[in-house]
Amino acid sequence: MGLDITWAVDWVRRGAETLAEHRVELITLDREIGDGDHGENMDRGFQAVLPKLDDLPAGSAPSDVLKLVATTLISTVGGAAGPLYGTAFLKGSMAVAGESSLDAAGVAAMLEAARDGIVSRGKAESGDKTMVDAWTPAVDAARSAADGGASAAETLRAAADAAATGAAATEPLVARKGRASYLGERSAGHRDPGAQSTVYLLEAAAVAAANGTSA
């Protein structure tokens, strides 16, 4: 069973809801090692997407939803998160362009393209204590789930769980990219806020898929 436009819209709504719910937590994580705006920025960006979902033309594909998220985040979020998440959704959209329903391989391809977009824009590698440390394990888990015959929903669940493990693993790391890098050793002991917001977004995608809102 594939994931269609209903899933994509539900993902964005759940994503907006969970980011609003965790706004203060993300601000706090960011204040510890950055400048304290990550929760505010992500909440502002996803709230801006919501009204636009109602204007999607009939017959839109999941890729259209992802593209809408991309352009809205780029034009409303700012900071590093706007271009990085904007690029992720844009590349993810391009990877599944026009497909009315995503199977497990489609989900894996979408996540991989999103991650590659973040890496090329932000020039961060695994271990730099950034959102890449959540995205890369998520992509790896999605790929092996899809290759092993999992459903699209199961593939997203594997990705979300791996992202959570990856985000937790950023805690002991010393940041080498972004504003946290200025702290040097003092950045260790804190979870990266971008990795944590990645967890919330992928978790929302997985829950939306599991809730059978797909066709």
Partner 1 sequence: MKKIINDPKRVVDESVAGFGLAHADLVRVETDPIHVVRGDAPVAGKVGLVSGGGSGHEPLHAGFVGPGMLDAAVPGAVFTSPTPDPILAATKAVDGGKGVLHIVKNYTGDVLNFETAADLAAADGIEVRAVVTNDDVAVKDSLYTAGRRGVGGTVLVEKIAGAAAERGDSLEQVAEVAERVNANVRSMGMALTPCTVPHAGEPSFTLAEDEVEIGIGIHGEPGRERIKLEPADAIVDRLLEPIVEDLPFSSGDRVLLFVNGMGGTPQIELYIAYRRAAESLAEQGIRVERSLVGNYITSLEMQGFSITLLKLDDDMLELWDAPVHTAALRWGR
Cα torsion 198, 169, 120, 75 to 10°: value is 30
**Residue the block writes with tokens 């990856």:** 166
Cβ proximity to partner 1: between 106 and 194 the closer is 194
**Beta-carbon count within 10 A of 48 CB:** 16
189 lies in the binding site for partner 1 (CB under 8 A): no
3-state secondary structure of 102: strand
Residue 59 C-beta: closest distance to partner 1, Å? 28
Contact between 31 and partner 1 per CB under 8 A:
yes
36 near partner 1 (CB under 8 A): yes
* Cβ closest to partner 1, residue 182 vs residue 215: 182
Q: Please pick, from the candidates 13, 53, 56, 83, the single residue that binds partner 1 as defined by CB under 8 A.
A: 83
Q: Which of 114, 118, 173 is nearest to 139 (CA)?
A: 114
Residue matched to tokens 């907006």 = 16
Helix, strand, or coil (residue 3): strand
Token digits of residue 162: 């791996």
What residues between 125 and 184 interact with partner 1 by CB under 8 A? Answer: 174, 176-179, 181-184
Which residue matches tokens 């950034």?
130
**Minimum distance of partner 1 from residue 34's CB (angstroms):** 7
Closest CA to 180 of 36, 16, 18: 36
Smaller CB separation from partner 1, 148 or 184 = 184
Stretch of residues binding partner 1 (CB under 8 A), selected from 33-41, 148-156, 157-165, 200-208: 33-41
Instruction: Look at residue 96 and give its three-state secondary structure.
Output: coil
CB 45, min distance to partner 1, A? 10
Q: Taking contact as CB under 8 A, which single stretch among the options 11-19, 79-87, 93-101, 163-171 is the one that binds partner 1?
A: 79-87
User: For residues 119-133, b (16+ Cβ closer than 10 Å) or e, as one string?
Assistant: bebbebeeebbbbbb
Q: Which stretch binds partner 1 (CB under 8 A): 9-17, 74-82, 143-151, 197-205?
A: 74-82
What residue ranges bind partner 1 (CB under 8 A)?
Answer: 27, 31, 34-37, 40-41, 44, 74-84, 121-122, 174, 176-179, 181-184, 186
